A and B are shown apart, each in its own frame.
Chain A
C-alpha cells in the first residue's frame, strides 16, 4: 500500500477520533489524496460524488426516513407497547419480551435504532423499573434490542449496502431477517436468565378469554402502524413496486393515518416532521457524497486490491480470513455508525469476499450483524450512550448486562451468519427463487 494511502488512513482515523463530523473526515481524506497525488483537477471527484448521489435507488432513504418520522410521531410507540404488553406482559419476565418485540417492530417502522431507543425506551424503562426490573438492565435491554432496526426490513443500511456493492436491495432486505429472529430468540432467553433474581412484581391475573379480548382491542389500536412494514414489503415482494416507490407509498399512507386515524398530526407537527426528516436525510446523503469521492480515489489507488493482498498475505484459510474480516468489521462498527462503516469498508472488502466465494447478499447480512454489534460495543457505542442518557443511568452500570447480550447473543449470531450461509440466503432463495 502506498505511503499516501497509509497517511490518508491515519488522517481519517485522527479526525474521526477528535470528533470532526464523519462527512468532513471523508472530504479531508479525499483532499489529502488530491494534494499528495497526481490526479490533476479535482472536478472529476465532485462529478463522481454527484453522479452517485443522483440515484433513484438512493431516493428510497429520504422517503423511508420521512415515512418513519410520520408514523413514529405521537402515539404509535405507546400503541405498539400496549399491544405487545397485552400479549407477553402477563408472564414473568414478559415485560422484557415486550421491549424486545416493540423495539424490533418500531425499528422496522422507523428504520432507525436511535428513534427506537428514544420512543420505546422513554415509555418502557419507567414501566420496567416500576415492575421491579433493575434500571441498568432495562436501559441495556432497550439499547441492545434497538439495533434490530438494522436487521428488520426496510433497513436504510441495506439500501446503502446494495447501492454501494450493486446488489439487489430486494434480496438484501430478506437476508438479515433470520439472523434478526435468532437474535430476538436469544435476547428472550437471556432476558429470562438475567431477570430470574430480580424482585419482579407479577401482573394482576386475567383469564384467557379476557386477555384475548384485551389483546384484540390493543391490536386494533396498533393495526395501522403494524400494517406499514407489511404494505412496504407486500408492494416490493409482490412485484408491484421498486423499494423507492414502496417508500413513497409508505409516506402517502402515513399522512392520512397520522392526521385522520391516529390524530397525532396537525399542520405544525407535520411541517416540523417533514423538514426534520429532510435534515436527517441530508446529513446522511452528504456523508454518501463525500464517501463516494473518497471511494473513487481509493479505487484509483487500487486500495481494494491491496487490501485483499494484505489479508491473503496473512492466511489463505477461508475460515481464518472470515474471522479476520468479522473482527475488522466489529472494530469498524465500534468506532463508526453503520452507514459510515458500510460506505467505507464494503467496497474494500467485497473483492475479498467474492474471492472467498461469499455471495454479496450473504456479505450484506454479515455486514449488518457485525456493524449492529459495533453500535452497542464500547468504547464508542453510540446507541449505548444514547440509551444511558434516555434512561438516566451511567454507562458503567449498563456494561455488565450489555456484555452478556453482546457475547452470548450477538456474537453467536455473527458467527452463525458468517459460517452458515443458509441462515441469510434461505429467504432470498425461497421468496425470490435465487440460485
Chain B
C-alpha cells in the first residue's frame, strides 16, 4: 500500500475529511516557503483594515523564535528547510524598533524635518465619518468599527480611544499599535532615513536587532514593560522578544545585561520623560501606558561628552563647550546623537549661544554652537598700507592676485577670544586656530578661520569679502571697506610681570577724508586674553581733529594702565582686530643709570648700564619702543600714493619717534620744548603722550597743529607750567623705562640723576625735585629716589681725571654756559671749593634779553634769516623751509637761533654741504657782530677772576667749558690759543701778577652739553658737596663781596646799585683797554665800526640795566617777600642789556 496523503498541515492522519485541531502556531510554522523565506515583498495578508498591525505582530512572533533575533532558516530531519523567520519579518521588526527609537529620541529630531505626532481620536474621527453625510465614509467607518469591536480581544482594541499617527516630513511613517507599541507603513521609508545613533540609520536596509541598538534605548524598552505589566501580557510577542534580547545580551554585552538587571522602576520616570504630542501633558500612550523619551538634558550631556564637534579650547570653562559647525563638512564625526549628516548650518544665528538650537534640531536640541558669523566680521577692513608684520600678526596672507601693499585688520569678533588666546592664533601648533587671508581676483578676499575641534579635526569658517557687495552675515557675504587710519603702540612691551605696572599710550590717527568714510568715528577697545568679554578701561583724548587740522588728520590717544593682548578697532560700520606680536619678556637685572640735563634750551640724557662708560640716550633699531601698524620699511610709497603721509608724520610730531640717536633724524641733546594740543586746558586731566609730547622733530618739520612751548625750565611757576615741565619729564622717564625693560634692565634698580643750576631759587629747585621724584616714582616705583646735582659741579666729575694736576695742585675753573645760565665752579684738590651762577648765557647773545617773543626785533635774525631762506630754497630743502617758517612764526629768538644752528646737522643736508649751512661759521665770519661775543666772553672770565681774587684763591691754571653755550667760543675764534692768551691776560690783569709760561690751559670738549650728564653719572656720593655750602654770589661791593643781599637791602641802600654800576663800568674800561693792547681786529677779526658802536654805548644805561635786571629776576623768582635773598650777581645785568641793545646796531652796519 502506497503512502497516503493528507492535504493539510496538521500532521494528523485520518480518512477522507477527518477532524484535526484548529491550526495554531506550530502548524503554521510547518508551512514551507518554496522560495526559502526570501520573499522580497511583505504582503498584507490579513483580512482586516488593521492588517499591518497584525503583520508586525506576526513578525515579532517569528523573529523571537530565532536564535539571534534575525531572519533564520532551519533544516528539518527530513532535509526540508523551514523558515523560522524571513528577512521580511526582520525588516518589520527592525522598522518598528526604528520607529520606537525615533520616538524615544523625539527631541533630537529636528523640527525642521517635521516629526509630528497626530492624534486619531476614535470617537471623534469615527463620528466624523459616520455623521458627515457621506455614505462612503459611513460605510468605511462602520467597517472600522466592526473590526475594532470584533477583533478587540486579539488586537487589544478594548479601551482603545486614540491612535497616535507619526508623520515625518508630512508623510505618515507609522503609528502606535496596541499589539507591538508601534507599526510602520508599508510604503517606502527611504525618505525617513535618519541617523539616530552613532551607527544606526533608521529605516535602512541594515536591519538591527534590539541588542545592537543604543543601550539607553534598550533600558527604556525594558523599563517600559517592567513598569507597565499590562504590556507583558497584552504584547506578549514583543515582551518575549525583549526577554530573548536580554538573554543574548548576557553573552554579547554582559555589562549592559547587568545594567538592565539592576534597573529599578524608579529609573523609568527619573531617567526618561513623558513623550507628548507637542502639547504639554497630552502624552502619547498605548493601552494606557505612556511612552517616554530620552530626557533632553541627557542629550545635552551626551553631546557634551561625545560630540566630535566640540570646540578644542582649553580656555573656555562654561558648562557646555559649544560645537563648531560649518556647511559642507564631510567627515562623519559624532554630531548630536548621530553622526554628522550635513544639516544646513545657518551662517548667522542671532540668538545668544545659550539660546541656540543645533542645526538639524532647530526646535529640539538647545545646545550652544558656533557658526561663521560668531567669529568673522561682516566687513573686512583694508588698510592703505602694508602691516608691520614684525610687530603685528597679519594671519597667513596668500596673494593669488594683486599685491600685498595693503594690509587687512583681522576680521575677528572678540567672541573668538573667549575660546582662544591671541597667542593660539599665532601658534603653529596643529591644535590651535589659524587664519588665512587669500587675495583673489577683483580685489576679493577669502578669509578662512580654522577652528580646532576634537581629535585633531578642524572646522573652517570661510567668508569671501568683496568690494562691490553688501555685507550679509545671513548669506555669508562679506564686504571690503578701505579705511585710512594708523595706529601706533608705545611702548611695545608686554612684561606679564605683575610687579611692573603697565602704562601704555596708543596713538590712533584717522585720515579718512573720502566722502564715504569721512564720518568714521574710530574707537579702540583693548582686551586681554583673560577677560575677552570686557574691554579694558582706558582714558582717551582727542588731540587734533581732521576737520580743522592742517595735517588733515584726527589724532586720538588712549591711555591704558593694563596689559592687553588684542585690540578691536571700531567705527560705526566696521570692526577689526589687531594682535600685537609681543616679544617674550624676561625681567633683567642690569642696573641702568640715567642722567638728565634739563637745560633751558636743550636737554640731554646719558645712560650707563652697570656703571659702564655713559653714552647718550638712544633708541636703536633693536630696541624700538613704538610699534606702528604700518610697516615702516614699506610705507612711504603707500602713504604718498594715498596722500596720507600724516599717518606717518604724526607719529614723530605728536608721539614718539621710532629711533633716537646718532645716525637718526633726532638725537639728544634735544630742544627743551613741549608740543601740546591747541586749547590745552590745565584744569582737565591731561596725559603725557596724549595731550602733549616732546616733539622730537621740532626744528626739522613744521608743527602746525598745536602749540610748541619752550622755556620750560624758567617759565613762570604755576599750574600750567608745572604740568608742562612735569610732562616733559614724564615722557623722558617713559622713554627710560622702555629702554630699561627692552634691554634687560632691572626696573627696581634704575637710577636717575638730574641737575639744577646753582642760580636757581630754592622754590624752583623744590618744584623740580618734586616733579622729578613723583614722576620717576610713577614709572620706577621701587627704584631709588633720583639724585640731584648742581649743573655746575657735574661736568667736572667727568673730566677731572683729565687734569693730572688740575684742580689738585692749582685751582681749575669749570664754566658751564647753558642757554639760560652760566655756572662757574672752582675746584681745588679735586673738590669744588666755590661756585657761582648767573643768568647770562647763550640766550643773552641770541635771545630777547629780559623780554619774550620779540624775535622780529632781533637784528641777528633779521640779518641771517633771509640768508638761510635763500639758501634753503636754492637747495630745494622745502621741508626745512617750512620748518623755519614755522619756528619764525613763534617769534622766539632763542628758538629761531637754535634752529639755525641745527641746520648744518640736519639729515636733509648733505654732509659735504654742511659747512655751507653752518650758522656758527657764518657768525664767526661776521666781524661786525663778533665784538658782542668777545664782550660776553670777557665779562665772564673777568667776573671769575674778580671772585677768585676776592676769595684769595691762587690763579687758576685750568679753565674748562661745558654747556651748549660754550659753543660761542668757536664763534670768537677757531684758534683756542688766542682765547687762552686772552683769558690768561684777564687773570693776570685782575690779579696784577703774571703766570709762569704756558701754565694756563683752556679745555673745550667737542660735545659740551653731554658733559653734565656724563659727569653726573660719574658722581659718587663720596663726592657729594652741597652746592649751597659753597655757593657764593659776588656782590661787587667792596669789602662785602660775598655777603648775602636781600631785596630790602637793595631797596634801602640805593647806593648798592651805584657801587655795582661802578664795578661794571670799571670792567667796560678794562675791555676797551684790552682792544688797544691786543687789537681785537687782528686777533679776532672784530670790525672797527663795531668797536666804535660798543664804545659809544658801553656805559650809557648801566644802572638802569641793573634795576631792570633785578626786577626781572625778582619776578622770575616770584619773590613776594623783600626779605628774600637775591639769587645772583647784578654784575651781568648791564652787560646783558648792552648786548641786546647794540646787537641790532651791529647787524645793520653797512659795508
Q: Do A and B form a real pair?
A: no
Enumerate chain A interface residues (CB-CB to B < 8 A): none
